[in-house]
Amino acid sequence: MTNCLMEESFVSRELINVNVGKRIRIECQLNNSTINGNRKGLWLRLEDAEVFFYATSRINSDQRFQIEQRSSFHMINSTTSSEIITYSLIIDDLRLTDSGTYSCQADNKVIKLFLLNIVERPYFITNDYSTLIRTQVGRNVSIDCEAHGKPEPYLSWIRKTDEYNQNLMINCSTTPTTCQLNLVNIHRWDNGIYECIAMNSVGT
C-alpha cells in the first residue's frame, strides 16, 4: 500500500465540483495494461495520505465511504479475453473536509486522480432573518450581516425601493465573512427595507 506516484504527465486527472451533502461515485479501471498480476486496487487521499480501501477491505472507519468492485471481460480475439475491473469509491453526505485529491492505485502505480472540490451555497450565521429597527433622525445605525459558504461569498446590502421596482446598492464595511451596513446621520428618507445579499458561484 505504498503511495508511489507515476510521472504526472501520464496520470489521468478529473476535476469534480460537487455540493455539500450530495453523493458521489468516482471510479477507475484496472486491467492487464495498468496492473501486473495484482488486481488489488487502493483508494487514498493524497493531501493527508488517508487510505480508505485496499481491494475491498476497509481501512478508514468512516461509513460514508463505500467500495464497489466489479469485473467484466473484453474479448481480444476469438480465443483470448482480458479481465477489466471497475474499482469505485462512493462517498455519501459529502462534507467540506472531504475536498482533496483522491488517487486510485494498483501495483504501486497511480491509475487515475480525482480532484474533488466540495462547494457550498452561502448561508447566514444568524437565524434572525427579519429585524425591525426604530431610531431617531440624526442618529447613526449599524447592521451586521454574516454569511459563510465555499467559495467564500460576496456580501452586499441593498435598499428596496418602489420607484421603477429597482433596488439601490448600499456600500458596506466588509471582512471575509461579514458586511456591516452603516447609516450615518439618519434622515426620514432613509426609511425602507434593507436586505443583505450573499452570493458565490453556487448560488445565493
Q: pLDDT tens across 35-72, in order?
A: 555 568 999 999 999 999 999 999 999 999 999 998 88
Q: Identify the pLDDT of residue 97.
A: 97
The set of long-range contacts for 100-104, using a CB threshold of 8 Å and a minimum separation of 24, is: 100/45, 100/46, 100/47, 100/48, 101/45, 101/46, 101/47, 102/26, 102/43, 102/44, 102/45, 102/46, 103/3, 103/42, 103/43, 103/44, 103/45, 103/46, 104/26, 104/27, 104/28, 104/41, 104/42, 104/43
Phi and psi for 180 in degrees, rounded to 5?
-100, 120
User: Which set of grid coordinates corresponds to residue 148?
Assistant: 459563510
For the chain, which domains are there? 8-119 (2.60.40.10), 125-199 (2.60.40.10)
What integer is the mean pLDDT of 92-96? 98
Which runs of consecutive H residues, i.e. helices, occur in the chain? none
What integer is the mean pLDDT of 172-191? 87
Higher per-residue pLDDT: 112 or 204: 112
What mean pLDDT is reported for the chain?
A: 86
Q: Identify the pLDDT of residue 118.
A: 98
**Which of 48-62, 71-85, 100-114, 126-140 is predicted least confidently?**
71-85
pLDDT at 191 over 90: no
Q: What is the pTM of this model?
A: 0.79
What is the C-alpha separation between 42 and 59, in angstroms, rounded? 10
**CA-CA distances (angstroms) from residue 120 to 21, 23, 95, 117, 155?**
9, 14, 9, 10, 15
